[in-house]
Amino acid sequence: MAVPKQRKTKSRQGNRRSHHKLSGVSLVGCEKCGQLKLSHNICENCGTYKGREYVDVLKKMTRREKKAKEKELEMQGQEAAPMSMEELSKK
């Protein structure tokens, strides 16, 4: 059975493992709503990908969630151009 003649130093061990680090997640802003999302994925906020709507976000929400979402959009609308959920799904 093979046995190493000498112990490897910590620096050699570190040099060997230097490329094992994890890379960070790259987030991209949605073209329609500006929400951060993973690249090459459907936006969870408005349900679009590459300018086309693939998921109708309003169907999945209850009344309470719709009102909360519209209030949230109104608060953001005061800072920027106002857009309701219906406008987001129509674009």
What pLDDT is stored for residue 14 in this prediction? Answer: 94
- Over residues 12-23, the pLDDT tens digits come to 999 999 998 888
Domain count, the chain: 1
In a domain, residue 12? The reply is no
Residues in CB range of 40: below 8 A, 6 or more apart: none
Show the domain range for 70.
Answer: 25-90
Q: Parallel, antiparallel, or unpaired: how do β-strands 27-29 and 52-53 relate?
A: unpaired
The yes-or-no verdict on residue 58 having pLDDT over 60 is yes
Nearest to 33 by CA among 41, 18, 43: 43
pLDDT-above-90 percentage for the chain = 26
In a domain, residue 35? The reply is yes
Question: Which strand (E) or helix (H) includes residue 48?
Answer: strand 48-49
In a domain, residue 61? The reply is yes
